[in-house]
Amino acid sequence: MTKKITRKENFSQVCVWPACLVEGKVEEFEKFMLDEFKTRIQYLEEIKTKPDTVNGFPVEDTGGRNDVFFAVHQEDIGRFAVPRLQMGIRWIEDVLAPVNYSSEIYPKRVFEYKTW
């Protein structure tokens, strides 16, 4: 995939779930999130991470992790904000913040998902 997925109306907050596999089972994934968290989501995509780099060189045994990107309906963000932490789900803004994003492990287009 070369460009970001357009979000449906009112699906404003993008999240990243590291090391998660959906593998084409999008309806099941969206139903799981609704059943487990009472949260409506829109699956966006899965991205295999690139290796971390130090001084421009790849770090051995990094990269290749499958991360899932999805958007949360704006009415459900408050209900989802704390429970998501137990599963390691992060807001896109936190993932891509300069203090956290030291290696370019995702394609540059994911920055278009940020809401700020």
Which tens digit of pLDDT belongs to each residue from 16-74?
A: 999 999 999 999 999 999 999 999 999 999 999 998 888 888 888 888 899 999 999 99
The pLDDT of residue 6: 86
Predicted confidence (pLDDT) at residue 12 exceeds the cutoff of 90: yes
Beta bridge partners, 45, equal 69
Cα–Cα distance, 54 to 62 (Å, whole number)? 11
Instruction: Determine, yes or no, domain membership for 3.
Output: no
The backbone torsions φ and ψ at residue 35, rounded to the nearest 5 degrees and listed phi first, read: -70, -45
Indicate whether 35 belongs to any domain. yes
* The pair of three-digit structure tokens given for residue 47, joined into one six-digit string: 């991205």
Structural domain includes residue 73: yes
Minimal CA–CA distance to 93: which of 75, 116, 77?
116
Domain assignment present for 22: yes
Average pLDDT over residues 96-111: 90
How many domains in the chain? 1
Domain span at residue 18 reads 11-113
Q: Do the domain assignments include residue 1?
A: no
For position 1, what pLDDT does the model report?
Answer: 54
CA separation for the pair 56, 90 (Å, rounded) = 26
Confidence at 4, pLDDT banded by 50, 70, 90: low
* 5 in a structural domain: no
39 located within any domain? yes
In the beta sheet, which residues pair with residue 53? 58
